[in-house]
Amino acid sequence: MNLKALEEMIFKHSSTLIKKHGEEIFRKNLVSNLKGKRIENMYHVYGDVKDLNLTHRVHIKLDIQGNTLEGASCNCEEYREISRYKKIFMCKHINAVSYKFLDSLYKKKHGENSYVQGYEKDALELDVKIEYKKWEKDDNYILEFRAGSKNKVLISDLKAFVRKFNHEKKMIAKKDIPLFLYLKEKVDGPKSLENGSRSIIIKQNELKAFLKTLGKRKILFRYNGIEYKADILSKDLPLTFTLKGNERNLILTTHKNLPIALDENKEVYFFLDNIYVPSNHQCDKYKMFHERFMKNNTILYKKTQKNYKLLLEILNSISDNIMISENIRNLELGPSESDEPRLYDSSSINLELCERNGSLVLSYSIDDIEEDELKEVLRSYKAGSKAYRIGSKGFLDFEDEEVKSFFNLLDILNSDKNVIEIDKNKESYLNVILENTSMNINKGLDVLENIKDRFSNLVKKERKLDKSFKGKLRNYQKEGFKWFKNLSELEFGGILADEMGLGKTIQTIAFLSSEKNKKALIVAPTSLIYNWDNEFKKFSPDLKVGIFHSNEVLIDELKECDIILTTYGLVRKHIESFKKIEFDYCIIDEAQNIKNSLGKNTSAVKEIKSKVRFALTGTPIENNLLELWSIFDFIMPGYLFPRKYFEEKFIGKEDMETLRLLVKPFILRRTKSEVVKELPDKIEKKMLISMTSEQKKIYKKYVSDIKKKIKENKGNRIEVFSYLTRLRQVCLDPSILFEEYTGGSGKLNAALELIEEKSKEGGKILLFSQFTSVLKKIEPMLKERNIEYLYLDGSTSSKERINLVDDFNKKDNIKVFLISLKAGGTGLNLTSANLVIHFDPWWNPAVEAQATDRAHRIGQKNIVEVIKLIAKGTIEEKILKLQEAKKQLVNEVITDDFRDIHNLDKLTIEEIIQVISRE
């Protein structure tokens, strides 16, 4: 059998990722004691692999006659677990030994040249990644290279790579020889690379020469944090120009998104997601236009025949796409010889800006249109006309992009007057519209500059966390903190719409910690109230936090608190009392609770008096745009207009760009994929859940009964254990014990809220419970919500287990896997999940970790969020607090294994009572 066929035979049983890990182990020379032995038609390969201070023994069986891999084994944990469900499973250690084996065969045949999968097997191809890097003194580019014939891998040591292949250039693909020689030049040059260097840094003026070396190919190009698959094109830029005119000037405009010059000489450009190296002629002629367009998106020239002809001559030499307005095509004839009606464009609009009594005032006029006629012009635009006739003089072109933007602005400002007072919260939108306009701003350019500076200075302003804040924020969370501070300084509201699990709570607490002597109201779903309280105690213990969570607590008693926590239901019930308090901040959590603009909760929350309002939600839009309108109507009433006007303008219309510009400054959303480099691969948190009022009553009665029975039955440990088990079940859902119970469960409500939110974001959830009765309870609730799910417990056969795992990992429509902890805590590979919910706590850390690792394991590409639901003020919370001090006690109290009941002898009656008693 030839080497290539042998390689294919061995590796066809391995996944790409595990094979790559095996190759890395082989490269690090961690495989030793390689031996081979033939017994009849079977060839046995043995080897030892050192990995994380452990030595793993590998055995591979090859059927020489049948040309098949008969079997492979390893004593590592991963092999033991997965091989139970897969006839031949190749872990990374088996792959590493396979590489070593093939390497030894290759050396026997070819001398000292080493076999390395992806390098020597076939002609070696090179891929390039270029990353733009802005440094303090100048801008440079970082070059990285990948090599291989099929699956290319990062070259981690360029110097070693060049030396290795310098005398074997025939192994490099012909098209990549120039690139290899470039690498060699850099390695051998005066500024030689250090050993182990994986990248090369080049200056801007070196970029063009490097691109010429690459020729026409596709590369990875990273610019300002975004990665593109860009073609390198040695051809002229596909430029487009528009030439218009007014009575005084020729007006030249071009693309809204300009080509980006990648070097100081403007000889290389990034444009339309590709990299262009234009001709010298285009570079020379376009350079002067590009510099002026960078400052303003219009260039004005004096309207003369000479300028017109000269401009056209230059433009025609660098572009095949020039649009000329009809009103200047006859420029050569002179104004007196042309009887053509004039087409009025954006240059016919005259603006003035001024500040009056602290407010911004915009006034406008249009050439040859009287002031009292402007209302009719606006009505014509709203009616959908393409143009407005200006007597016998011509037409105002409503299809001109800038004319359209201006009249859209008037529509947004909701005024038919030609002098308009502009709300401060719409200044940023005005700034975007007028920033690069060709309209004539006759007065107020300084005012526009002031607006720009105000926003720019705010963004640059340093924001420091308060010393009383005890948490540590990641970089993106610091940006969220700064966003809170900036908006609150302007007295604007906002929506923090980070994806679930990115820390909206801690960002909010960091902000409130910095707002000394301010009063805030936080409205949250019932299931999250105590979670907020716990987070405040943890991260901002100096703030005085009060909870209004029942009719027994008087609002007046909480007036001295810095923070008041309450629920949507209680705001609705006691709105008259809440209206008596003037808050500095009102913050609503899970703001999708007010998505129904006509709902009672929504109406009540909007009546709260607050200077600034914020909303927290991972899903600002679940079904339609009216949900976004409802949240905005809370944070900044009136900003998105009355509901009817909003519906007429945006619902079912295509004007999404206007809506996007309006809401952009006030919504901050980051997804896990955007901030993945800042996140750990596993995020764990505990969520304290309040029981329902009926649930609390039953729990309290049970505790009282158990205390008595424990004292009466001091010697009967099995009976004591059964009491504790029932008490834990009450924490989950009393209906498990009492069929007639209908008082609800705080944990069930919280779990369903998490599932609904995560599934709407496209996530997949594993929910573990020790009690199958809980899982059975959740099943119909998921069906009611049309959420697809799977179920696994001890009665599930081994074959069915494999089918269920396969379905969950492959089918995107299946969102939830309900799993009995004992049946599914081990032996399952569920790497498609990104949220793990522990419905009832398992206090043995090893067992709990095993369950979590069904999702958080090799092959998982997403960040896994782990949430443990804890019933507040119950045995669950008590054991959490005792966990560190008495780990053994914890295992003794909650184990379901009757073989360990004798361990309860170590507990005193007082200790057991302490565990079950509420604070």
| DSSP 8-class letter at 399 | T
- Whether 496 and 591 map to the same domain: the answer is yes
Closest by Cα among 709, 741, 712 to 724: 709
Instruction: Flag whether 337 is in a domain.
Output: no
pLDDT band at 887 (very low <50, low <70, confident <90, very high): very low
Asked if 74 and 212 sit in the same domain, the reply is no
**Same domain as 181, residue 131:** yes
Comparing CA positions, the residue from 426, 428, 406, 429 lying closest to residue 418 is 406
Looking at residue 859, its pLDDT comes to 54
| Same domain (yes/no): 559, 432 | no
Q: How far apart are CA 756 and CA 763, in angstroms?
A: 10
Question: What gap in Å lies between CA 848 and CA 894, rounded to an integer?
Answer: 13
Task: Indicate if the pLDDT at residue 334 is higher than 60.
Answer: no
- 3-state SS assignment for residue 431: helix
Q: Report pLDDT digits (tens) over 633-657.
A: 999 888 888 888 888 888 866 567 7
Between 535 and 910, the more confident residue is 535
pLDDT single digits (tens) 418-434: 888 887 777 777 777 77
Choosing from 642, 674, 706, the residue where a domain stops is 674
Lowest mean pLDDT among 101-105, 424-428, 529-533: 424-428
pLDDT of 901 > 60? The answer is no
For the stretch 47-71, pLDDT in tens is 999 987 889 999 999 988 888 899 9
Percent of the chain with pLDDT over 90: 32
- 246 and 225, same structural domain? no
Q: Which residue has the higher pLDDT, 417 or 317?
A: 317
> What span, in angstroms and rounded, lies between the C-alpha atoms of 485 and 362?
28
Q: Residue 225's domain spans which residues?
A: 125-231
In a domain, 918, yes or no: no
Q: What's residue 95's pLDDT?
A: 94
Question: Which residue did the predictor score with more confidence, 526 or 844?
Answer: 526
Instruction: Work out whether strand 520-524 and strand 583-588 pair parallel, antiparallel, or are unpaired.
Output: parallel
Average pLDDT value for the chain: 83
- Is residue 212 located within the same domain as residue 266? no
Q: Looking at the structure, do residues 222 and 257 belong to the same domain, yes or no?
A: no
The structure tokens listed for 349 are: 């609009």
Mean pLDDT of 882-890: 46
- Backbone dihedral angles phi then psi of residue 215, each to the nearest 5 degrees: 70, -160
Residue 336 included in any domain: no
Q: Which of 427, 458, 489 is the last residue of a domain?
A: 458
Q: Tell me the C-alpha distance between 837 and 160, whole Å.
A: 48
What is the mean predicted confidence (pLDDT) over 603-622? 90
Q: 419 has which bridge partners?
A: 363
Structural domain includes residue 903: yes
**What pLDDT, on a 0 to 100 scale, did the predictor assign at position 733?**
94
The answer to whether residue 398 is domain-embedded is yes
Q: Position of tokens 């693309």?
A: 255
Same domain? For 553 and 582 the reply is yes
Domain end: 328, 360, 388, which one? Answer: 328
Instruction: Read off the pLDDT of each residue in 530-552 and give the average, rounded to a whole number.
Output: 86
The yes-or-no verdict on residue 892 having pLDDT over 50 is no
* Residue 115 falls inside a structural domain: no
In terms of domains, do 766 and 839 share one?
yes
Q: What is the DSSP string of 247-273?
A: SSEEEEEE-SSPPEE-STTS--EEETT
- CB-based contacts of 746, cutoff 8 Å, min separation 6: 526, 527, 689, 690, 691, 692, 695, 871
What pLDDT does residue 896 have? 41
**Same domain? 130 vs 95:** no
> Mean of the pLDDT values across residues 132-149?
84
Q: Tokens at residue 684, please? A: 């764990």
- Residues 518, 565, single domain; the answer is yes
Q: Are 693 and 519 in contact (CB under 8 A)?
A: no
Count of beta carbons in the 10 Å neighbourhood of residue 755? 23
Answer yes or no: is pLDDT of 890 > 70: no
As beta bridge partners, residue 868 has 686, 838
Q: Say if residue 88's pLDDT is above 60.
A: yes
Report the pLDDT value the prediction gives residue 716, as an integer from 0 to 100.
63
Q: Are 216 and 250 in a shared domain?
A: no
pLDDT of amino acid 161: 87
* Structural domains counted in the chain: 6
Q: Which among 250, 234, 426 has a CA at the least distance from the CA of 345?
A: 250
Counting residues of the chain whose pLDDT is more than 70, the rounded percentage is 86
Handedness of CA 606, 609, 613, 616 (dihedral sign): negative
Flag whether pLDDT at 411 surpasses 90.
Answer: no
Domain at 761, CATH number:
3.40.50.300
Is the residue at 916 inside a domain?
A: no
pLDDT of 886 > 60? The answer is no
Q: Give the integer Cα–Cα distance in Å for 824 and 559.
A: 49
pLDDT score, position 902: 41
